Amino acid sequence: MLMGPSALPIFPASRSTGLSTSAPATRHWHFAQKLKSCRNSSWPRASIGSPCSGWNRRPPSRSRPSRTKQGAQMIGVTIGTGEYYTKLAQHAAQAIEKMTGVKTIILGDEHLASSGLPYSHHLKLRIFDLVDHDQVMFFDSDMVCLKPWNPPRFAKTDAVVAVAERLHPMVIRACKDWDIPIQEYFNAGLMIFNRKSHQEWLRETERFVTANPGVPSYDPYDQTPLNITRHRMGLKLELLDRRYNWVGFGTGTFDYEVPLYMAHGLKPYHKFANIDFFEGRYKPPFRWHIQINEEETNRLKGQTLCLKGAHQEKSLRLNCDGTIGPPYYPGTGRHWFVHDKPDGSRLAITSDTELLREFTRAPDGTWESVQELCLEESG
């Protein structure tokens, strides 16, 4: 790269950017960032059994459609009403059964008609009235299971299992309005829960939705009500990393480089592209070359590292679900993982859509990333 005498190219570990300055042409700067372990940390967890939120209005009377008569093993449940969503749900359910071995059921037009509910997505709030299974994995019909995995292994007797939501304006506003810790707001497109600990939570959510029609106005579905009631009831939350529910998949090229288990859609704003994928008319540009080092990633989970460099120091919390903070890494870095490369392991910091920075392990156990700022003479 050839640049004028007033330009300083920056060479970070992952990409190049430019910076203008009037510094003398012979000066060099070396800017190093180091990550050093400070302490182990974890977010305080609320315990089950806290008082309910007080929305005591009873839900409308409900007719009981036929229920599945299966054993106590986990059942996968999704919702599909109308022609296209039914087809979407059928493909999603078939992929779940093939990749996980979990049997599935689709709540469809008949269930909606029998329920008396105004919206099909509220059927998830009555799951335990519609199935006899005690352990459920709910998944949205636009989820695509791409790799084999074992959902029952992640089930918890006392916690809702889900994946954190992206921090778009609706989420930030909901957390502020309802006093939900922002790191605990989850996406409802994949949830694992059980009858004993969570049936009353779903009922409480229906009571909230019924008593507050149109509130909150910025979330016409039930994701925010589910987050509100879980938080107010003090139910535990266990978050998985986003490979199990990659929300907004396909927004950036980085999405196609990480092997993942569950994509929440395959094309942004084109929900029915999933049908084209399942029926062979669309092939996503997967390039799964990033190999995550599970052992090293697990070792760093829950630790707080000190980020040192440029005459400043700040803490960086590596959450157990692969998110960072808050606060986040400078430059919208919200996710982390350790992956293997030919020259050793790298600690990667990413945004929702791109890899921002990589750190290599130093002999003293710290993680280092060096940016060299230097002038290039024009030829």
Domains of the chain: 7-42+302-374 (no CATH), 75-243 (3.90.550.10), 246-278 (no CATH)
Q: Please state, in angstroms and as integers, the Cα–Cα distance from residue 50 to each residue in 46, 53, 186, 338, 341, following that order.
A: 8, 9, 20, 37, 47
Q: What is the mean pLDDT of residues 271-286?
A: 95
| Residue 303 predicted with pLDDT over 70 | yes
Taking alpha carbons only, the member of 193, 228, 190, 181 closest to residue 43 is: 181
DSSP symbols for 45-95: -PPTTPPP----PPPPP------B---SS-EEEEE--SHHHHHHHHHHHHH
Tell the residue number behind the tokens 């469809």, with chain if given: 108
Q: What is the pLDDT of residue 221?
A: 87
CA-to-CA dists, residue 160 to 198, 264, 301, angstroms: 8, 19, 19
pLDDT confidence band for 299 (50 / 70 / 90): very high
pLDDT of 2 strictly over 90: no
Over residues 362-379, the mean pLDDT reads 64
Average pLDDT, the chain: 82
**pLDDT by residue (tens digit) across 153-195?**
999 999 999 999 998 899 999 999 999 999 999 999 999 999 9
pLDDT digits (tens, 9 = 90+) for 195-236: 999 999 999 999 999 998 877 777 878 999 999 999 999 999
For tokens 């305080």, name the residue.
Answer: 44
Average pLDDT of 235-245? 98
Predicted confidence band of residue 121 (pLDDT cuts 50, 70, 90): very high
Closest CA to 376 of 136, 108, 21: 21
Q: What is the pLDDT of residue 269?
A: 85
Stretch among 138-142, 274-278, 357-361, 371-375 having the lowest mean pLDDT: 371-375
User: For tokens 């099909």, what's the residue?
Assistant: 120
pTM of the prediction? 0.81
The answer to whether the CB of 249 falls within 8 A of the CB of 264 is: yes
H-helix or E-strand spanning residue 99: helix 83-100
pLDDT tens for residues 5-52? 222 222 233 333 222 223 333 333 334 566 666 644 444 433 333 333
Instruction: Identify the pLDDT of residue 38.
Output: 60
Q: Which pLDDT does position 32 carry in this prediction?
A: 52
Residue 373 scores a pLDDT above 90: no
Sequence-ordered alpha helix ranges (H) in 148-272: 169-178, 195-211, 223-233
Note the pLDDT tens digit of each residue in 325-364.
988 887 789 999 999 999 899 999 999 999 999 999 888 8
- The rounded distance, in Å, linking the Cα atoms of 249 and 262 is 10
- pLDDT at residue 60, as a whole number: 33
Side-chain-side CA neighbours of 261 within 13 Å: the count stands at 17
